[in-house]
Amino acid sequence: MKINIPESDKKRVVIVGGGFGGFKLAQMLARSKVFQIVLIDKNNYHQFQPLFYQVAMGGLEPSSIVFPLRKAFQKRRDVYIRVTEVSSVDTVNRHLVTPLGICNYDILVLALGANTNFYGNEKLAELSIPMKSVSEALFLRNKILSDYEKALSTTDYDKRQGLMDIVIVGGGPTGVEVAGALAEMKDFILPKDYPELNCEEIDIYLIQSAEQLLKGMSEKASLRALEFLTELGVKVKLNTRVADFDGEYVHMNDGTAIRSRKVIWAAGITANQIKGIPAEAITFGNRLKVNRINQVEGLGEVFAIGDMAYMEEEAYPKGHPQVAQVAMQQGKHLAENLLRLQKGQPTLPFHYHDLGSMATIGRNRAVVDLPHWKFQGAFAWLVWLFVHLFQILGVKNKLFIFLNWVWNYATYDQSLRLIIRPRVPRTGEMEVEQ
């Protein structure tokens, strides 16, 4: 059975993944009106991952950081969206196998992104909380708030500490931003919501296996981030690795243990896999080897962009960083090269232009590394706000996020501290109970 997509005399480009890279590619190709485009994603929306942590902390509504794929392409007749997962790819017969049926392609672009890397530790994978989707961010919010509700009725000190203390693993931008947001919640939100609790008992730990935070950013940014977190009361443990987690205690490689029922895992990623890709095309972190036009090694009609793609260039001999900037630039560049190929013109090699890195550690605290300028503090925080607000899709989303930020800043409050539990009714389909 084939997926119901109209046949066309135009070449069909199938894009798997509606993240930063896949979405940018689809936008660029749709404007050209040269190809028939099929965009496949397991969700019917594009997610803005950098703000997942604000959803988890109750600062933003989930709907503010997602954008419906169909809305983005309403006026593009040659764009077809199918909400499903890809089971496998047949590169010989040029088709994808999905639960909806088979989808043929002339050109296939894999933009499946990456998932959380637990480095083979099954217990951590089962019990810790990742944050790679809106649903995971909501799960974390539910878990935090539910545990504080339980803590109100827990008289045993050690058990209460397990409910109240939080461990974050990974000192990259996600870990640092989550730690800062939790520290501010502890100082400004929880004392008002839970006056019966002694919020001074809450300990927030940030565990980093390397000798510094924000590895990849400047030394000054790393030191300032550590200073900001320390000011907020976060207990940062460098050169420490989490060895195990049993649901009650987090065990370190140095033999120490922390009692906590919540471990937020932000310690690494691995590229999502797809069956049917030859093993010789797969390299470090499950990434696919691609040439300078993002063509997968040994597969003429298959391309990969973003976190899935492993491309070496002179400035990046070990591949590009797995960040949104790379994905969007590769999506745009691949669109240009596909149009060149269609016209019989020579392709151009991809060059990554690093626009800089940044991380926020609470209000008026951020670090920014631009190519020719590095700064920290309140101005860096304003730059972080502006850049992220500019990248959000949709005028309504931009407005809602801006108003939320202004309200939160003026009142030291967040209005979205709701515990929303999924409910499975008799029909077997998932509903949401509010």
CA 112/CA 271 separation, integer angstroms: 8
Q: Three-class SS of residue 202?
A: coil
Contact assessment for residue 179 and residue 206, using Cβ atoms and an 8 Å cutoff: yes
In terms of Cα–Cα distance, which of 333, 314, 269 is closest to 21?
333
219 as an active site residue: the answer is no
Give the helix ranges, DSSP H, for 268-371. 324-343
CA 47/CA 142 separation, integer angstroms: 20
CA 218/CA 285 separation, integer angstroms: 25
Query: Which DSSP category does 26 fall into?
Result: H
| AA letter at 208 | Q
Q: Are strands 257-259 and 249-252 parallel, antiparallel or unpaired?
A: antiparallel
| AA letter at 35 | F
**Residue 236, strand partner residues:** 206
E strand or H helix at 24: helix 20-32
In terms of Cα–Cα distance, which of 6, 67, 68, 66 is closest to 37?
6
Angle, alpha carbons 378-383-384 (nearest 5°) = 95
Q: Establish how many alpha carbons lie within 13 A of residue 9's alpha carbon, considering only the half-sphere containing its beta carbon.
A: 0
CA 66/CA 138 separation, integer angstroms: 13
Q: Three-class SS of residue 294?
A: coil
| AA letter at 239 | N
The active-site residue out of 7, 126, 149, 177 is: 177
| Burial call 79-100: b when 16+ CB within 10 Å, e when fewer | bbbbebebeebebeebbbebeb
Q: In what order do the strands lie in the sheet with 357-360?
A: 357-360, 366-370, 373-376
Residues tagged active-site: 177
